């Protein structure tokens, strides 16, 4: 698929807007998920994902075609989201998910043999609580935790997205997990 994307990028650089629509269609869900899992608010995640694509399009000439486009795009989305988090009041985004049930299905892991309704509710409550605690982590830990465990990127991919060494990624994952473990002890 990467070769198809590389061809689309060449077409975009030549001015083919339809090729960019194809790229957006291919990556839009993943970019949205990265933003949502970091910010915890569906509307803001949509705005951030859209802004990431706009930035990618306007800066497409800066993209180095020897690299993976997805890494470059995810870096843009992650950086935009981290910037938004830093500008927000901490209590606002911590409570953002509590207001409704948006996004809960994203984390739902209902067993194939169908859990009892009360077990499903308990599972959703626990997942909501864990997601809330992930949102409470400092941005540098939150980003690596989300990219590693929710988006399942490799250590090298995370290092590329965040433009930091793999050793720093490992350290932040360890510290983020420890911080999260301490916060979840009373569960």
Question: What DSSP string runs through 106-150?
Answer: HH----TT---HHHHHHHHHHHHHHHHHHHHS-HHHHHHHIIIII
Q: Helix or strand or coil: residue 64?
A: coil
174 pLDDT more than 90: yes
What are the pLDDT digits (tens) for 120-173?
666 667 777 788 888 888 988 999 988 888 788 899 999 998 999 999 999 999
Query: CA dist 73 to 32, 38, 127, 129, 132, Å?
Result: 11, 16, 28, 29, 26
Residues 44, 46, 162, 82, Cα dihedral to 10°: -10
- Asked if residue 144 lies in contact with residue 177, where contact means CB atoms within 8 angstroms, the answer is no
Exposed e or buried b per residue across 100-122, where buried means at least 16 C-beta atoms within 10 angstroms of its C-beta: eeebeeeeeeeeeeeeeeeeeee
Question: Which residues have CB under 8 Å from 183's CB, separation 6+?
Answer: 133, 136
What are the pLDDT digits (tens) for 15-42?
888 899 999 999 999 999 999 988 888 9
82, exposed or middle or buried, with CB in 10 Å at 0-12, 13-18, 19+?
A: middle
- Asked if residue 169 lies in contact with residue 159, where contact means CB atoms within 8 angstroms, the answer is yes
pTM of the entire predicted model: 0.61
């Amino acid at each position: 698929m990467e070769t198809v994307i590389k061809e689309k990028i060449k077409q975009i650089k030549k001015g083919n807007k339809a090729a960019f629509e194809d790229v957006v269609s291919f990556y839009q869900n993943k970019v949205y998920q990265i933003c949502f899992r970091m910010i915890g608010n569906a509307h803001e995640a949509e705005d951030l994902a859209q802004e990431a694509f706009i930035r990618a399009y306007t800066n497409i000439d800066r993209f180095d075609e020897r690299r993976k486009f997805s890494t470059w795009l995810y870096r843009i989305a992650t950086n935009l989201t981290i910037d938004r988090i830093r500008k927000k009041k901490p209590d606002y985004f911590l409570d953002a998910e509590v207001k409704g049930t948006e996004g809960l299905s994203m984390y739902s892991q209902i067993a194939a043999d169908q859990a009892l309704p009360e077990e499903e509710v308990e599972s959703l409550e626990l997942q909501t609580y864990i997601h809330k605690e992930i949102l409470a982590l400092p941005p540098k830990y939150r980003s690596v935790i989300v990219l590693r465990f929710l988006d399942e990127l490799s250590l090298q991919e995370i290092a590329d997205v965040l433009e930091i060494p793999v050793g720093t990624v490992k350290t932040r994952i360890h510290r983020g997990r420890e911080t999260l473990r301490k916060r979840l002890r009373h569960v």
